[in-house]
Amino acid sequence: MKRNHLITGLIAFAVTLLTVGVYHLTIGGGAKVVKVEHIDGSPATQAVYTLDEDGNVIPLDFTRVAEKVMDGVVHIRSVQTNPLGNRQQMEDPFKDFFKDSPFEDFFGPRFRFEGPSQPDVRVGSGSGVIISADGYIVTNNHVIADADDIEVTLHDNRTFKATVVGTDPTTDVALIQIKADDLHPIPFANSDEVRVGEWVMAVGNPFNLTSTVTAGIVSAKARNINILREQYAVESFIQTDAAINPGNSGGALVNLDGALIGINTAIASPTGAYSGYGFAVPSNIVSKVVEDLMKYGVVQRGVLGVMIRTVDGNLAKEKDLGVTSGAYVDSLLENSAAGAAGIKPGDVIIEVDGNKIDNSPRLQEIIAQHRPGDKVNVKVLRDGKEKTFDVVLSNRKGKAELVKKEHADILNILGAEFETLDKETARKLDIKGGVKVKDLTAGKLRKYTTMRPGFIITKVDDKPVTSVDELVKILKDKKGGVLLEGVYEDIPGTYYYAFGM
């Protein structure tokens, strides 16, 4: 009996407590009371940890790195003006008057009336990295290519005009310079020591949003995405998932010490905007290109003289290689440095100067850090056995000597790359000789004429020219107007182009 009373009492007590609770939450307590805690300070920077080189646990703090590097990244505005662009085509007023007459052929389809031209102005935007207190800035070649005017804005909003020191389309790297004080250069890191999975930060100006910082990790190394269309292109990108968008090109990819490990260059995206994959030129390649442009005015590219393919499972099975990684030597080029050292087609290059070679881009990256005349130790796998060779790298012409950039001032003014016409082509065109325009960059020829690559200059101001040296000699001290006469291989007739020096 007492036990029943005890149970009944406990039930009544519980019901009472429940009733009181409901009352306070509804009627008796008025509005619902929500307790919010406020914590002074921000422990977020202490929430994630990483390891230093010695294996010590340290807080992962992006704010310190951001403060350290933002002053070293600039915004670049490039302007390309073509005064001959946008010509207003007008209808031939004599078309009907001379129709079905002997003069119709004279005023035929090649005879055009053109109205006043409207300058074609193109404005591009990108980023750059200050690398010295002297005002040298690294960026991508595609950011400043063909620009007539380059404007650099620093993180403190100071603005300067920049001049181009040199470019290397094969790596998409360019070097420009400004005259400014109180600059904050970013030091280079050894990109060979960068590890997949380590934290990195990308700094740049995407969509003209200046001084934007994003963070991520190194997703992969030695990536080739076939974005550079140059004949001797070197693609061995660092891949990252730090957000990179249009405008980030030429900006910095840094490690947690605030050191430069790469120049952001490209994204892989079906939409043209960030979708998880960004690519940067490794800092070791950038450093080599910059040193060459400063010292020689042109990039000194050492080459092995081989045609290579990345070894994979299919190639290994087809050729019975015994390995599934490395760079397979398909063939040797003429005057091959590798061939002279004893390397043969069918060899698999597995190591260069102690650096393991897993694929062709990695081999290109290592060799691109050397100049003609440098000696490298190459380990290959041949018939299942390892062999080593000391290879003296050559230039693209097969000679173990540095390339000279001749007549740099004149060629930069004209904005063209020339070569002396070979005798066979001259004979085919029935001319004594000439100078072929291989390529046009920002300069007087493209800005003030309609010349296109492939034009062969035969005369300058009615004086015959048969070599690049003769062309430069005539133009070296030239002032005033210049008239170029020449031909194209694929277009009949003689063409004339005039401009002022």
Both tokens of residue 455?
A: 């034009």
The DSSP secondary-structure symbol of 352 reads E
As to burial, measured by CB atoms within 10 angstroms (0-12 exposed, 13-18 middle, 19+ buried), residue 203 is buried
Task: Supply 161's token pair.
Answer: 């005009």
338 sits in which H/E element: helix 337-341
Using CA atoms, how far residue 289 sits from 132, 161, 292, in Å, is 15, 23, 5
Other CB atoms within a 10 A radius of the CB of residue 13 amount to 10
Q: Which 3 state secondary structure label does DSSP give 243?
A: coil
Print burial letters for 403-417: b (CB count within 10 Å at least 16), e (below 16): beeebeebbbebbbe
Q: What is the largest CA-CA distance in the chain?
A: 135
Q: Which amino acid is at 325?
A: S
SS (H, E, C) 293-318: HHHCCCCCCCECCEEEEECCHHHHHH
Q: Closest by alpha carbon to 382, among 332, 322, 336? A: 322
DSSP state, residue 270: S
How many whole angstroms separate alpha carbon 484 and alpha carbon 154?
Answer: 42
Catalytic residues: 142, 172, 249
Question: Which of 494, 496, 483, 485 lies closest to 435 in space, CA to CA?
Answer: 485
Do the beta carbons of residue 73 and residue 204 sit within 8 Å?
A: yes
Q: How far is CA 384 from the centre of its chain?
A: 38
> Up-side HSE of residue 338: CA atoms within 13 Å toward CB?
27
Give 8: exposed, middle or buried? Use CB within 10 Å, 0-12, 13-18, 19+.
exposed
Asked if 263 and 281 count as a contact pair (C-beta separation under 8 A), the reply is: yes
Distances (CA, A) of 401 to 68, 126, 343, 364: 41, 36, 21, 19
Decide if 147 contacts 78 (C-beta within 8 A). yes
CA-nearest of 382, 456, 369 to 419 is: 456
